[in-house]
Amino acid sequence: MKSKLLSAPYIVWMILFTLVPLGVVFYYAFADVNTGQFTMANLANMGTYTPIFLRSIWLSLAASAICLVIGYPVAYYISQTKPTTQRFLSMLIMLPMCMSFLLRTLAWVALLEDTGIINRLLSNFGIGPLPLIRNNGAVILGMVYNYLPYMILPLYSVMVKIDRRLIEAAQDLGCNSRQVFGKVIFPLSVPGIISGISMVFVPAVSTFYISQKLGSTGTTLIGDVIESQFKGAYNPNLGAAMSLVLMVLIFICVGIMNHFGEDNSEEGMVTI
Amino acid sequence: MRKVNKIFTILVFIFLYIPMILLAIASFNSGTDIAVFKEFTLRQYGNLFRDSTLLALLRNSLIIAVLSSLIATVMGTAAAVGIHSMGGRMRSVIMGVTNIPMTNPEIVTGVSMALLFAFIGHLLKINAILGFGTLLIAHITFNLPYVILNVMPKLKQMDPDLKEAALDLGCTPVQAFFKVVIHEVMPGILSGALMAFTMSLDDFIISYFVTGSGFITLPVEIYNYTKKPIQPKIYALFTLMFAVILTLMVLMNLLQLRDSKKKATTQRKDFMKR
Amino acid sequence: MKKRITVALILISVLVSTFCPWVHAEEAESITVYNWGQYISDGTDGYLDVIEEFTARTGIKVNYITYDSNESMYTKLKTGGATYDVIIPSDYMIAKLIEEDMLEPLNFDNIPNFQYIDEEFRNMEYDPENLYSVPYTWGTVGIIYNTKYVDDASSWASLWDERYEGKILMFDNCRDAFAIAQSRLGYSLNTEDVEELEACADLLKEQKPLVQSYVMDQIFDKMEREEAWIAPYYAGDYLFMVQENENLAFSFPEEGYNVFVDAMCIPKGCQNKEGAEAFINFLCDPEISGQNLEYLGYSTPETEAKQYMDPNVANSDIAYPDAETLSRATSFVNLSTEANQAMNSLWLEVKTAGSNTATYLIYTAIAVVIVAVIAVVIAMQKKKKKQRRGQSRK
């Protein structure tokens, strides 16, 4: 009973600084840009942006899936090392994120361009310029690079506490290493997977800048569009409407994911 | 199998560090282009130290990152414990709200918070309300979800009987909380704090809108370099920062190593005495 | 553990108390300058540190902050919650700010150096009576091209040339991009006619498949490294690029082009108007203006200042084109809200054009299926485990 009170400051905080600003977003989404009167026009136009919404969702889903595939073995490896090494490695995973996101993205641009570092190296071996940049792949690469640590860390922190005796018991009972993984380690790491996916997928959908720098003229993402509406186009109302739609879409996606994850589980998942 | 995994992990680390290495090399480059190394020079470091504003901005960034991640970690951990003990419906509502700062594009969060602050300032008749305080509030707000999402899975994983056991063994509830619960979820708290720190060190969009004229952070300044290419002294700044943080981490790690060894020996002694 | 936490707390409080801004209370007079990023000489590579020099001469401390576009500065000013003493927006934005009564009239008695501003930069269209602004820099927009690959760029049409497909860069900025289409179609750069704007948007959409990227600052690296061959950009910046790659050339397109002026203004609500005027006056000092703009590369509105500049820059006919070339240039004025909105939504159409809903629907569906499969596998495993547990309990 008492421990519920612990979340009181947080709840008050979130009401003040998340829900109230969200109200501002709602107000904007339903207000006319010139007169400020109630209108549905901002939301009615949303259909034209369907391809952009779809593209954002598909690219970030792909990025989350790749992050999971890459991040899982790394997290597992880290969780198997000595405790002091573990702490060091998990900090080392996070360290690149201290550098400016803008600079890191620009460094990728310098690597991937037709006249960039990789293509110049390759041309020494007579391999012509590969189309490494200005496509969906490059955007996914940028997302994976930027959000991978947000997948690895929650996975690691869950795996590190998996009881070693469970694994040994499974081995004693005749499980081979694949079975140990499938029957013990993987099921027990599900809460970490769900936390990780939501920390990669959710921010990645609304990301911007990555597609501006690494994508082509045809890979504009919804984050870029919303940004331009707020910054350049004097039309925050359309931007607000877009971000409301985006929020609903993300809640649906995450909801589906959690529905499967939560399904008749005893220990429960992170409910989102 | 383990060996394959090790090689894979090393490859992933290389992947994560390639841009870092490039930027570090670029800081010794006499040209401005990252991709073309002209000649070696230390001039960029000279430019960096002559520029007092950049160093001040870095200092501002660090202050905000340390304070906001600390507060968010404490508040977020407490909140996670509280949410964990709640019933299903209540919990999903709160976790839904928790997701909002992550879901919203940063610019939406930034502008809507700025409008809110400006409105409060209007009510309180402060015409320059945007500044350190509002920046800190905004950073704490977007850090909180990361802390909670890191701590929650650890709480789910924790055996609820552990706390009971501690209570049975004569711990007060407060002792049980700190010695058992916090101890158990520590890895989650640490990674949450780490993420919060980096998130806040690297944020520019929200910061741009919620800060006033008095307190600017480094990423905000860098984001505004749209007219000219980024000056290489910025690379020098980040290379230095990177080196300092890395050294601190290695030192901390060494200290911890010594600590844990000491602990191990004292424990052994205790055991022997018994 | 506890000890470490206390040590950390002490360290943090020391850090905070030594560095926090309010500890160094405002002992000295200060002003807040809100300018474009990297738009003042800051002491790099031995150039003048303008702000330091100002503080040394007047004792007024400068709180210097930056923005990335006229529009984000406008959003900040509109939002409120902070005050600024000097801002340096571009022409059309100044007109907008004047129209919305967001600027303070200047007291020119405090700005004696205004006398050095050349006649043609006074009473500009955006500020006809010259009450609110003092020019800081000016410049032109033209075509930068690589002579190795592009032989003739005397017309904007070369940005639509299919031979350069994938090597063309374009402004990532609504007004500048439309200005190019407007020049090509022979419309006024300040047209408010929706049909004309639509025609421009169609022209830009036609160009889109040929464009490599819509960029701003990245243009430097891309042009110097020959990642791209042809791009519209500012004359002042070309002077930097040509130092890195001598194959680059600049042309003033025959159809006409945009000339911009960025000028210093004082927004309403400023805290130290006299300090702000002192700063504006200081930047108009020919010696300071000369050195500052030599670093920036943009043109100075003061003939007097040229003697303090590198003669190569001061005599460059790209930075200071002759009167005949300049006669083809037009400056932007503020457009009506409707025209602005029409232009912006057309620009959004251009930027998002060419996306195919069907393909993305398929892709998204595939991604959703993959994620769903993963989720089902997880759920199945849970179920199996539960069943096993149930059995073992029996």
* Closest by Cα among C320, C264, C294 to C133: C264
Query: Any chain B CB within 8 A of the CB of A79?
Result: no
CB C52 within 8 A of CB C74: no
Q: List chain A residues with CB under 8 Å of B112.
A: 21-22, 24-25, 28
pLDDT recorded at residue C24: 46
3-state secondary structure of C231: strand
Q: What is the pLDDT of residues B195-204, one digit of tens each?
A: 899 889 988 8
Q: What is the pLDDT of residues B47-84, one digit of tens each?
A: 898 887 888 898 999 999 999 999 999 999 999 988 88
List, as own/partner pairs, every contact residues B82-86 make where C-beta atoms lie below 8 angstroms and the sequence separation is at least 24, other chains included: B82/A3, B82/A4, B82/A5, B82/A6, B82/A7, B82/A8, B82/A10, B83/A7, B83/B148, B83/B152, B84/A3, B84/B152, B84/B155, B84/B156, B85/A1, B85/A3, B85/A4, B86/A4, B86/A7
Q: List chain B residues with CB under 8 Å of A91.
A: 194, 249
Distance from CA of B110 to the nearest CA of A (A): 9
pLDDT tens per residue, chain C (394 residues)?
455 555 555 555 555 544 444 444 446 789 999 999 889 998 888 889 999 999 999 999 998 899 988 988 998 898 888 889 999 999 999 999 999 999 999 999 999 999 999 999 999 999 999 999 999 999 999 999 999 999 889 999 999 999 999 999 999 889 999 999 999 999 999 999 999 999 999 999 999 999 999 988 889 999 999 999 999 999 999 998 999 899 999 999 999 999 999 999 999 989 999 999 999 999 999 999 999 999 898 999 999 999 999 888 888 889 999 999 999 999 999 999 889 889 998 999 998 887 666 677 777 777 777 777 777 776 676 666 666 665 555 4
Q: How far apart are CA C159 and CA C163, in angstroms?
A: 10
Domain C28-137+263-317 and domain C139-259+346-352 have a common topology: yes
Residues for chain B: how many in total?
A: 274
Alpha helices in C165-249 (DSSP H): 174-185, 194-207, 219-224, 235-244
Encode A83-150 in three state secondary structure.
Answer: HHHHHHHHHHHHHHHHCCHHHHHHHHHHHHCCCCHHHHHHHHCCCCCCCCCCCHHHHHHHHHHHHHHH
A243-261 average pLDDT score: 79
pLDDT recorded at residue A189: 86
Would you call B218 and A149 a contact, using CB atoms and an 8 Å cutoff?
no
Q: Residue A205 is part of a domain; what is its CATH number?
A: 1.10.3720.10
Which residues, other chains included, contact B49 with Cβ-Cβ below 8 Å and sequence gap of 6+?
B55
Contacting A residues, span 123-142, partner chain B, CB-CB under 8 Å? none
Query: Any chain B CB within 8 A of the CB of C44?
Result: yes
Query: Any chain C CB within 8 A of the CB of A216?
Result: yes
Q: Of the candidates C36, C43, C79, which has its C-beta nearest B118's C-beta?
A: C79
Distance from CA of C156 to the nearest CA of A (A): 20
Q: Of the candidates B111, B173, B190, which has its C-beta nearest A236's C-beta?
A: B111
Distance from CA of C252 to the nearest CA of B (A): 20
Q: Of the candidates C214, C341, C360, which has its C-beta nearest A55's C-beta?
A: C360
* Closest by Cα among A249, A222, A221, A54 to A138: A221
Q: List chain A residues with CB under 8 Å of B138.
A: 17
Which chains lie within 8 Å of chain B at 3 or more CB pairs, if any? A, C
Would you call C363 and A58 a contact, using CB atoms and an 8 Å cutoff?
yes
Q: List chain A residues with CB under 8 Å of B18.
A: 107, 111
pLDDT recorded at residue C288: 94
How many domains is chain A built from? 1
Element (H, E) at C142: strand C134-146
pLDDT recorded at residue C8: 58
Question: B167 burial class (0-12, 13-18, 19+ CB within 10 angstroms)?
Answer: middle
Q: How far apart are CA C213 and CA C168, in angstroms?
A: 7
Query: Any chain B CB within 8 A of the CB of C224?
Result: yes
Would you list the domain boundaries of chain B? 1-41+233-274, 54-224
Distances (CA, A) of C117 to B216, C263, C284, C305, C343: 33, 12, 8, 10, 34
pLDDT recorded at residue B1: 67
Residue of C nearest to B216 (CA): C65
Q: How far apart are CA C281 and CA C294, in angstroms?
A: 18
Q: Of the candidates C71, C352, C366, which has its C-beta nearest A232's C-beta?
A: C71
Encode C6-57 in three state secondary structure.
Answer: HHHHHHHHHHHHHHCCCCCCCCCCEEEEEEECCCCCECHHHCCEHHHHHHHH
Q: List chain A residues with CB under 8 Å of B1.
A: 177
Query: Any chain A CB within 8 A of the CB of B86?
Result: yes
Q: List chain A residues with CB under 8 Å of C37.
A: none
Domain encompassing residue A157:
51-231
Tokens encoding B203: 């944020």
Q: List chain A residues with CB under 8 Å of B86.
A: 4, 7
pLDDT recorded at residue A263: 45
Q: Of the candidates C174, C352, C370, which has its C-beta nearest A49's C-beta?
A: C352
Q: For residue C262, what are the β-bridge partners?
A: C90, C137
Question: What class has domain C139-259+346-352?
Answer: alpha beta
Would you call B208 and C72 a contact, using CB atoms and an 8 Å cutoff?
yes
Question: B25 burial class (0-12, 13-18, 19+ CB within 10 angstroms)?
Answer: middle
- The 3-state DSSP composition of chain A as helix, strand, coil percent (nearest 5) reads 75, 0, 25
Domain membership of residue A180 (yes or no) is: yes
**Testing the interface with B: which of A57, A206, A211, A271 to mutate, by most B Cβ within 10 A?**
A271
Which residues, other chains included, contact B3 with Cβ-Cβ below 8 Å and sequence gap of 6+?
none
Q: What is the pLDDT of residues A34-92, one digit of tens each?
A: 887 888 888 887 888 888 888 898 899 899 999 999 999 999 999 888 888 888 898 89
Would you call B205 and A83 a contact, using CB atoms and an 8 Å cutoff?
no
Q: How far apart are CA A140 and CA A124, in angstroms?
A: 27
B129-146 average pLDDT score: 92
Distances (CA, A) of A162 to A168, A186, B225, B265: 11, 10, 47, 26
Domain membership of residue A92 (yes or no) is: yes
CB C36 within 8 A of CB C87: no
Query: Any chain C CB within 8 A of the CB of A225?
Result: yes
What is C28-137+263-317's CATH number, 3.30.1390.10, 3.30.565.10, 2.30.130.10, 3.40.190.10? 3.40.190.10
A·B CB contacts under 8 A? 297
Residue with token string 């993305």: C360
pLDDT recorded at residue C10: 54
pLDDT recorded at residue A270: 37
One-letter identity of residue B65: A
One-letter identity of residue C290: G
Q: List chain A residues with CB under 8 Å of C212.
A: 134, 217
- As for the ipTM of the complex, it is 0.88
Residue of C nearest to A252 (CA): C368
Tokens encoding A100: 């400016």
Would you call B245 and A96 a contact, using CB atoms and an 8 Å cutoff?
no
Q: How confident is the model at residue A264 (pLDDT cuts 50, 70, 90)?
A: very low
Domain membership of residue A129 (yes or no) is: yes
For residues A179 and A10, the model is more confident at A10
Under CATH, which architecture does the B54-224 domain have? Orthogonal Bundle (1.10)
Domain membership of residue A179 (yes or no) is: yes
Q: How many CB atoms lie within 10 A of CB C47?
A: 15
Would you list the domain boundaries of chain C? 28-137+263-317, 139-259+346-352
Q: Which range among A163-167, B217-221, B247-251, C84-88 shows the weakest confidence by mean pLDDT?
A: A163-167
Domain membership of residue A62 (yes or no) is: yes
**Testing the interface with C: which of B50, B71, B112, B227 to mutate, by most C Cβ within 10 A?**
B227
Domain membership of residue A260 (yes or no) is: no
Using only C-alpha atoms, chain A has a radius of gyration, in whole angstroms, of 22
Q: List chain A residues with CB under 8 Å of C379.
A: 260-261, 263-264
Percent of chain A residues past pLDDT 70, beyond the cut: 93
Distance from CA of B248 to the nearest CA of C (A): 13
pLDDT recorded at residue C382: 64
Would you call A233 and C345 a contact, using CB atoms and an 8 Å cutoff?
yes
Which chains lie within 8 Å of chain A at 3 or more CB pairs, if any? B, C
Would you call C344 and A234 a contact, using CB atoms and an 8 Å cutoff?
yes
CB A218 within 8 A of CB A51: no
Residue with token string 């059309």: C92
Q: How far apart are CA B16 and CA B18, in angstroms?
A: 6
pLDDT recorded at residue B255: 83
Query: Any chain A CB within 8 A of the CB of B102?
Result: yes
Domain membership of residue A218 (yes or no) is: yes
